[in-house]
Amino acid sequence: MSLLPLTKTNTSDDEADVCAAIAEASAARTPVYAIGGGTSLSFGCLPSEAGLGVRTTSLAKLIDYPARDMTITVQAGMTYAELSRLLAQENQRLPIDPPQAEQATIGGILATNTSGPRRYGCGTLRDYLIGLSAVDGRGTLFHAGGRVVKNVAGYDFCRLLIGSLGSLAVVTQATIKVIPIPERSLMLACALRSANEMETMLADLVASPIMPSAVQVLCGKSVQKVFADRWGDVRAVLAVGLEGTQAEVEWMRTSLESRWGQKRLAIERVENERGEAVWRHLSEFPAADDPALVLKAVLMPSRVADFCDLVHSLAPEAELLADGRGHVFVKFLAPLDDAAGLLIRHLHPAAIQLGGRLAVVHNAEPQGWTRQMIWGGRTEADDFVDAIRRQFDPHNILNPGRWG
């Protein structure tokens, strides 16, 4: 918690406590920092103003679970692991796979828009969120959406809060739709020989009738940590997750093996205990190994291979994990000699040129880092977001400084 300059911490047991704490802080113009599981405190810029920590981990109750309706309502301090245990009792799941599941809370996952390898086929938490309760910068509790899948159309406050890093409101409760646990899950992996082949293979998956739940590309040193026993000398490995009924998975497996076999690719079938270990590694990638620095780029999917190739040329020691939706995580296990130069002169401009943006999502030594290093240059979109924040938080007390 040392990353936050706290003068006091309030552990809230219910929504009324959160409202009272924020209302008092608003009147005194005291900054407020919401604290869930503490897994993403280094995401964004380092706050400098001392203030009140509002801890939500005691807000962890199950509110409602009509399993036959395939929805669940929980308080925002519940961890993803606990939510998964509840859902598993009804053979259901929320397939978003955040890292550090035993600590990551539902409210924190919403605030940071965190998702794992299944985002390719299953989506992210925003695709499952149907209602929430939250407290704005005045200390006012408000509700958005509802507890059923069909809601009245209107301005989507639920999705507005996703990824806002607690700068619009502190989420206290969420209603989420869930899906059944599939009968079977396996993964097929193949070695890639070049960036061009990576681009071709990703495009081929999009054009194929196969519907993977995950499409992940491990590049650089990340390959050795998962596939060293088979492909320790290759630069990239494509791993495709297949889930569904026994018949569906078997059809997708044989179809994909046939397509890859025609390209003379080396293939490994990954399932059972080995498969669980690989899924776990892919889910934990941004947080594992106590990284010094983790970057996340969101690009046009067709430009992922170009970005990975650029990073590898500039920083051969980096570990990379990309997917077929344009997300690329870049992890450094040791501090960089010239982080500012790498980010400002190379990676931020490259991400924009390739149709996306780049951000620092974890930084073990954030002191002295500027907004330009962390988020890149400002755009018209930033001015629009600032205007929205003023409506929710007129005194700028919610997580001030996180956006720079």
- 150 or 365: which leads in pLDDT: 365
- State pLDDT tens for residues 38-65: 999 999 999 989 999 999 999 999 999 9
Residue among 402, 343, 339, 400 at smallest CA distance from 377: 343
Mean pLDDT of 162-186: 96
pLDDT at 3: 84
Local structure of residue 18 (DSSP, 8 states): H
pLDDT at 108: 97
Q: Read off the tokens for 116.
A: 């794992």
Split at pLDDT 50, 70, 90, the class of 92 is very high
CATH class of 293-383: alpha beta
- Separation of alpha carbons 36 and 289, rounded Å: 22
Mean pLDDT of 389-393: 95
CA distance from start to end of the chain: 19
- State pLDDT tens for residues 285-336: 998 889 999 999 999 999 999 999 999 999 999 999 999 999 999 999 999 9
Mean pLDDT of 12-35: 96
pLDDT at 39: 94
Split at pLDDT 50, 70, 90, the class of 77 is very high
Q: Would you give the distance in Å from CA 402 to the centre of its chain?
A: 17
Lowest mean per-residue pLDDT among 147-161, 271-285, 387-401: 147-161
* Count of C-beta atoms within a 10 Å radius of residue 316: 9
Structural domain boundaries of the chain?
A: 1-181, 184-284, 293-383
Q: What angle do CA 232, 237, 241 make, to 5 degrees?
A: 130
Question: The tokens 């109750």 sit on which residue?
Answer: 61
pLDDT at 228: 78
Buried b (16+ CB within 10 A) or exposed e, 65-84: beeeeebbbbbbbbbbebbb
- Separation of alpha carbons 198 and 210, rounded Å: 17
- Separation of alpha carbons 226 and 237, rounded Å: 10
- Separation of alpha carbons 205 and 185, rounded Å: 18
Q: Read off the tokens for 362.
A: 């974890």
Same CATH topology for 1-181 and 184-284: the answer is: no
Given a contact cutoff of 8 angstroms between Cβ atoms, the answer to whether 339 and 280 are in contact is no
Q: Where are the extended beta strands (E) located within 165-279?
A: 169-177, 179-180, 184-192, 214-220, 236-244, 267-270
How do 32-35 and 51-55 pair as beta strands? parallel
Q: Read off the tokens for 132.
A: 């929430």
Amino acid at 207: A
| Mean of pLDDT over the chain | 93
Split at pLDDT 50, 70, 90, the class of 378 is confident
Mean pLDDT of 87-98: 97
- Separation of alpha carbons 122 and 203, rounded Å: 19
What is the share, in percent, of the chain residues with pLDDT greater than 90?
A: 83
CATH architecture of 1-181: 2-Layer Sandwich (3.30)
Domain 184-284 annotated CATH 3.30.70.3450: yes
- State pLDDT tens for residues 122-161: 999 999 999 999 999 999 999 998 776 655 455 577 889 9
pLDDT at 2: 64
Lowest mean per-residue pLDDT among 12-16, 25-29, 114-118, 182-186: 12-16
Split at pLDDT 50, 70, 90, the class of 1 is very low
Burial class (CB in 10 A: 0-12, 13-18, 19+), 284: middle
- Separation of alpha carbons 352 and 297, rounded Å: 10
Residue among 41, 46, 134, 116 at smallest CA distance from 80: 116
- Separation of alpha carbons 112 and 174, rounded Å: 15
- Separation of alpha carbons 145 and 156, rounded Å: 8
Q: How many residues does the chain have?
A: 404
Given a contact cutoff of 8 angstroms between Cβ atoms, the answer to whether 39 and 146 are in contact is no
- State pLDDT tens for residues 194-246: 888 999 999 999 999 999 999 999 998 888 888 877 887 788 999 999 999 99
User: What is the phi/psi pair of residue 149, to 5°?
Assistant: -65, -35
pLDDT at 149: 62
